[in-house]
Amino acid sequence: MRGKFSSVFRELILTAGLPLALVLAGFWLAAQYVAPAPPKSLVVATATKGSPYYEVAQRYRSALAANGVTLEVLETRGSMENLQLIGDPRSPVAAAFLQGGIANTKDLPDVRSIGRLFHEPVWIFYQGAEKLERLTALTGKRVLIGPAGSATAVLAQRLLAASGVTRDTATLINMELPDYVETLDTDKADAGFLVLAPEARTIRRLFASPKVRLMNVVQADAYVQRFPFLSRLELKQGVVDLARDIPSADTQMLATTAALVVRKDLHPALTNLLTEAVISVHGQPAVGAGGETGILQRAGAFPIADDQEFPLSPDAQRVYRSGPPFLQRYLPFWLATLADRLFILLLPAVGILIPVLRFAPALYTWRIRRRIVTWYRELKRVEASVGDQASSTQIAAAMDEIDRIEDAVNRLPVPIGFANQLYDLRGHIDVVRRRLTVIRSAAA
């Protein structure tokens, strides 16, 4: 009895072997496409402490901390250093703030954008009695273009070169931004480019200087058409200081936009989370770069899910279009990401298992019936080998074969559901035996 049970159990295992192998193959195949669990920390390159990039990153850090992710805010010298860090595969930096106009996807093919965050106005101040409204007017003058190697210097030289102003036609001076005020006040320079937030101390000091004026860029629209990363802003009369009427007239300005970029291989869950933080922080009405009420952007203008310089991350694009992933709307972040991974693993397995389970009973029935049919085949062969004129020797050999078949059938393990077929086989063995007995009697 134990032997028969073991045989039936072995038959069940053999029958289930194919479905099990297919399911395991499905798990293996799915595992090749399942992203590992997201890391619990993320490094973002910003700028110096107190800068708009640094302050915005602090707000992102609070949003990510609520979901169990630590955002490590790395203080840097600004966009140019961030550019080097995000482009270096050995760097731990996975996200970085970049000023518009300093690089694009040709420079960083493995970088994707999370969106544009806020305006970075290009301030062009000048001193002297002559009214300046075009960059071409800076030919032959002494122009401050920011620290050497800085994003401000890169952008200033790009705009000046488009206007025919180069180091051959003007004196371009690299200088730290806080020194601009004294330099312009003491006639050591004629004009200067700055890329700073409106609330920056240097900007306030320049507006307060009686010798310095802000250039009204009359060709602003032309520069925007020439350089898609630029925007035209209009600084309304008195918007900086209503009491002192600064500026004294409507002034056209150029502005670039800050981008948050990430490595292409950043975990999709972290990209989603970072995009949600961007929307939460910059989607508030009239939020400026450092969190203050902005004077150079309309309510709800940012973030912008479009980028002229870097392709938008597909994961970020889905968040902009449809909001957070479905599970993250109702479950904690880590539980939602775990469920996502399990779902991807189970989907192909279930897809294989459902049709296999439908055919498994038929496969099991076929394997059991094959045992019985095998002995029917043997019985038919023995019966066919003995004709009415068979010799006694042939009949004796056939009878021995019948005994062998009967002995094997008696030891055949068959589930109770197939017992009727087994008893039918036994009855047919007796039928053939009786026929052989009749032939043997007739031959005697």
Predicted confidence (pLDDT) per residue in 355-374, tens digit: 666 766 777 777 778 888 88
Given a cut of 60, whether residue 245 has pLDDT beyond it is yes
Q: What percentage of the chain reaches a pLDDT higher than 90?
A: 45
Asked which of 302, 324, 346 is the last residue of a domain, the reply is 324
E-strand ranges in 60-196 read 70-74, 95-99, 111-127, 142-144, 171-173, 191-195
Lowest mean pLDDT among 192-206, 229-243, 320-334: 320-334
What is residue 177's DSSP assignment?
Answer: G
- Residue 32 vs residue 148, higher pLDDT: 148
Given a cut of 50, whether residue 25 has pLDDT beyond it is yes
112 plus 244 within the same structural domain: yes
341 occurs within a structural domain:
no
367 plus 317 within the same structural domain: no
287 plus 191 within the same structural domain: yes
The pLDDT confidence band at residue 421, using thresholds 50, 70 and 90, is confident
The pLDDT confidence band at residue 86, using thresholds 50, 70 and 90, is very high
283 plus 422 within the same structural domain: no
Average pLDDT value over all residues in the chain = 84
Number of residues assigned to the chain: 444
Beta strands 142-144; 171-173: pairing state: parallel
Q: Which residues contact 306 (CB under 8 A, 6 or more apart)?
A: 115, 116, 312
292 plus 433 within the same structural domain: no
Q: What per-residue confidence (pLDDT) applies to 393?
A: 84
Lowest mean pLDDT among 12-21, 261-270, 283-292, 399-408: 283-292
373 occurs within a structural domain:
yes
Partnered with residue 45 across adjacent β-strands are: 74, 96
Mean pLDDT confidence for 431-443: 82
351 occurs within a structural domain:
no
The pLDDT confidence band at residue 1, using thresholds 50, 70 and 90, is very low
Given a cut of 60, whether residue 202 has pLDDT beyond it is yes
Work out how many domains the chain is built from and give that number: 2
- Residue 250 vs residue 11, higher pLDDT: 250
What crossing angle do the helices spanning 419-443 and 392-410 adopt, rounded to 10°?
A: 160
CB 216, CB 251: distance < 8 Å: yes
Asked which of 309, 324, 339 is the last residue of a domain, the reply is 324
Q: What per-residue confidence (pLDDT) applies to 171?
A: 96
- Residue 322 vs residue 354, higher pLDDT: 322
Q: Choose among 108, 105, 161: nearest CA to 136.
A: 161
Give, in order, the Cα–Cα distances in Å from 308 to each of 33, 157, 360.
31, 20, 56
Local structure of 348: helix, strand or coil: helix
Conformational region of residue 146, where left means phi above 0, alpha means psi within -120 to 50, and beta covers everything else: left
Q: What per-residue confidence (pLDDT) applies to 84?
A: 95
36 occurs within a structural domain:
no
190 plus 67 within the same structural domain: yes
140 occurs within a structural domain:
yes
Beta strands 231-235; 212-214: pairing state: unpaired
Q: What per-residue confidence (pLDDT) applies to 337?
A: 62
Task: Give residue for tokens 């904690």.
Answer: 332
> 303: cis peptide before it, omega within 30°?
yes
* Amino acid of residue 379: L
306 plus 405 within the same structural domain: no
166 occurs within a structural domain:
yes
Q: Which residues contact 101 (CB under 8 A, 6 or more apart)?
A: 151, 154, 155, 158, 227, 229, 230, 256, 309
- Structure tokens of 48? 């110096």
Local structure of 367: helix, strand or coil: helix
> Cα separation of 296 and 273, whole Å?
28
340 occurs within a structural domain:
no
> Cα separation of 203 and 225, whole Å?
27
Given a cut of 70, whether residue 286 has pLDDT beyond it is no
432 plus 283 within the same structural domain: no
Task: Give residue for tokens 């900007």.
Answer: 203
Cβ atoms within 10 Å of 147's Cβ, excluding its own: 16
CB 187, CB 127: distance < 8 Å: yes
* Amino acid of residue 32: Q
342 occurs within a structural domain:
no
311 plus 419 within the same structural domain: no
Given a cut of 90, whether residue 294 has pLDDT beyond it is no
Q: Choose among 146, 122, 125, 133: nearest CA to 191.
A: 125
273 plus 364 within the same structural domain: no
CB 69, CB 332: distance < 8 Å: no
Range of the domain at 165: 41-324
Beta strands 191-195; 111-127: pairing state: antiparallel
252 plus 400 within the same structural domain: no
Q: What per-residue confidence (pLDDT) applies to 152?
A: 94
Q: What per-residue confidence (pLDDT) applies to 99?
A: 95
Q: What per-residue confidence (pLDDT) applies to 56?
A: 93
Threshold 0.85, pTM exceeds: no
CATH number of the domain residue 143 falls in: 3.40.190.10
pLDDT in tens, 310-322: 999 998 998 898 8
Distance of CA 253 to the CA centre of its chain: 36
205 plus 56 within the same structural domain: yes
Asked which of 324, 339, 372 is the last residue of a domain, the reply is 324
Q: Which residues contact 357 (CB under 8 A, 6 or more apart)?
A: 19
